[in-house]
Amino acid sequence: MLHSTPTLVRHWLLVVALLFPLAVVAESGLPYTPPEIAPEVGSGYHAKSGSTYQQFAVAAANPLATDAGYQMLAAGGSAVDAAIAVQMVLTLVEPQSSGIGGGAFLLHYDGQAVSAYDGRETAPQAVDGTLFLDAEGEPLAFLDAAASGLSVGVPGTVRMLELAHRDHGRLPWADLFTPAIQLAEQGFPVSHRLHTSLAAEQRLRDDPLAQAFYYDSDGAALAVGYMLKNPALAAILSAIATDGSAALHTGVIAEDLVSRVRSHHSRPGRMTLDDLAAYQAQTRDPLCTDWRAYRICGFPPPSSGHLTLMQILGMLDQLELPEPALENQLPRVAWLHAFLEAARLAFADRAQYIADPDFVSAPADDWASLLAPDYLALRAQLIGSTSMGSGAAAPGNPGTISEVWGLQATQPEYGTSHISIVDADGHAVAMTTTIEAAFGARILADGGTGLPGGYLLNNELTDFSFRPQTAEGLAIANRVEPGKRPRSSMSPTLVFDRDSGALVASLGSPGGAAIIHYVARTLIALFDWGLDAQQALELPHAITLGGTVFVEQGGFPEATLSALSELGHEVQERELTSGLQAIQRTADGWLGGADPRREGVVMGQ
């Protein structure tokens, strides 16, 4: 069973270390021993038990990635060191979700303060608001836009990690690449999730490099357990290990990236070498909001995550809800109704106001105006005993606005991967990382090596509004503009005790716009309902972006679905594949939980 893997791995590593102390010593000097982890078998839901650790813990979306982070922490590395090792292995083993061709947000706690590292992709200089419009001025179909050169944003993950490492790294930069390079050279077993994602994917097959690398001559996806080597990625990571982010943003690897974007077979993009060279990661002021006995710190715009999820929590606090909220270990209908109505209102504000803060002003020149208790009290008054209905929630008026924006229509958003880490000093990382949709722009780049494999380019620009303005001619805050970062839903979150200031949790999730519901509900489950980090992740999901309510397939009894329908919600069951990771302080140590819907595991000491 997967849930017993971390203990087995630790024992196995110990045995190897004792028997073969010099068994594997990487060129950089860091001993790295790939673990014997079988890929996850079966599909769907895999029960996991949380694990408690005294010194440090790391949770990530794939056992090999978690193990790489574990080995960095065990070697005395910091949380940022571990995050870098995890991200590089994820580029290899979970290429569909995140990687060096994408962007990320990293929230860091250094024992005193929280800092927010922004590695969000930017739009190339040569684009404008018509990027995703066809010849008739109508938005392209999502997949036509996504699987193209048009959607590729200038990647930011490596530059962001380099910046965070400069500030908080302890191990040498190059050593952090050892696990990924070694696994790429020697091969890793294709996981069940990678196999099923490849098998279900059609557009990736149109990319000649990806087709040759991930599929056989009959078009079958690589089998579960197939030992996949990625020599192109090994060479690219070796270059970044030696020369830093400059190896990706300038020189041959950059030339290859730009040429693949610009020569896309159906819709070439407009990225230039100058765009790549000019990319800069940023540090931003995190948003920290008091809630109950806690201070919840999250990412500011261009992410909509913290603002939207804290609006939901803030509105719920204004309502008198029946106690207890759970019945038979599931949220009761009254709580679900209130949560969904609060989400409708919060998503209306998000659609109106939230975009890259370097391009749009916050209402009342302060993003916190969206979280002001008086404002949320007014908004909560709109929540009645029956649903306001699909599409009925309108944005509110949190304060003086310098420009009147039009409302962005709901668009598909996908993807991502989440990493939570607490190191031996009690410093922490919550990092959500993405190439947007599964397999991003469906362009594999080999860095000009001519070797098999490579890394995938993001389609993050589809997180912009496809329409630059509304039918009435109002500009949309999140429209495409040169150099701008698209609005995100990523919600890396660190939680502190308000009295003592102690860190109490690091959490986050993939899942497109639903990240916001997943993280909001997990905070409530942990800190209001008193569930532990594993139990909280196991609760079934219910989400709405303002229209249909989607409830997790098989998660709720029929009576709950009927009751929600009677309250006026349009309800549909569907898979809601969150990938939550959470590490929580308990009386016994750091309790880590990993989402049973994906392959993630927690390890620690």
With residue 103 as reference, give the H or E element that holds it. strand 103-109
Nearer of residues 119 and 512 to ligand GLY, judged by Cβ: 512
Paired with 331 in beta bridges are 326
Q: Does residue 102 interact with ligand GLY by CB under 6 A?
A: no
First to last CA, the chain: 20
What does the alpha-carbon distance between residue 398 and residue 367 come to, in Å, rounded to a whole number?
A: 9
Our finding on whether 459 is near ligand GLY (CB under 6 A) is no
Residue with tokens 């009677």: 566
Figure out which of the listed residues 341, 436, 538, 599 binds ligand GLY, where binding follows CB under 6 A: 436
By CB under 6 A, is residue 151 in contact with ligand GLY?
no
Examine residue 101 and tell whether it contacts ligand GLY (CB under 6 A).
no
Q: Which of 489, 506, 509, 581 binds ligand GLY (CB under 6 A)?
A: 489
CB of 547 to ligand GLY, least distance (A): 18
* Selected range binding ligand GLY among 24-32, 277-285, 412-420, 542-550, rule: CB under 6 A: 412-420
State the catalytic residues. 416
For ligand GLY, the nearest residue by Cβ is: 488
Tokens of residue 74, six digits: 């065990």
Element (H, E) at 119: strand 114-119
> Does residue 543 bind ligand GLY (CB under 6 A)?
no
CA–CA gap between residue 60 and residue 513 (Å, rounded): 20
Decide: is 94 part of the binding site for ligand GLY (CB under 6 A): no
CB of 486 to ligand GLY, least distance (A): 7
Dihedral sign, Cα of residue 88, residue 91, residue 93, residue 94: positive
Binding ligand GLY (rule: CB under 6 A), the pick from 269, 415, 448, 593 is: 415
Nearer to ligand GLY, 338 or 354 (CB): 354
**Which among 173-181, 186-194, 413-421, 587-595 is the span making contact with ligand GLY, rule CB under 6 A?**
413-421
Question: Cα separation of 61 and 600, whole Å?
Answer: 4
User: With b meaning 16 or more CB within 10 Å and e meaning fewer, what string describes 208-228?
Assistant: ebbeebbbeeeeebbebeeeb
**DSSP secondary structure of 146-182:** HSSSTTPPBP-HHHHHHHHHHHH--S-GGGGGHHHHH
CB of 501 to ligand GLY, least distance (A): 29
CB closer to ligand GLY, 178 vs 489 = 489
Strand order in the sheet with 428-434: 282-284, 114-119, 103-109, 428-434, 417-422, 57-60, 601-604
Tell me the closest approach of the beta carbon of residue 117 to ligand GLY, in angstroms: 15
Residue that has been written with the tokens 């229509």 in this structure: 409
Rounded to a whole number of angstroms, the minimum distance from the CB of residue 492 to ligand GLY is 11
Tell me which stretch binds ligand GLY (CB under 6 A): 12-20, 146-154, 408-416, 561-569.
408-416
Q: Binding segment for ligand GLY among 64-72, 183-191, 206-214, 410-418 (CB under 6 A)?
A: 410-418
- Binding residues for ligand GLY, rule: CB under 6 A, are 413, 415-416, 434, 436, 460, 463, 488-490, 512
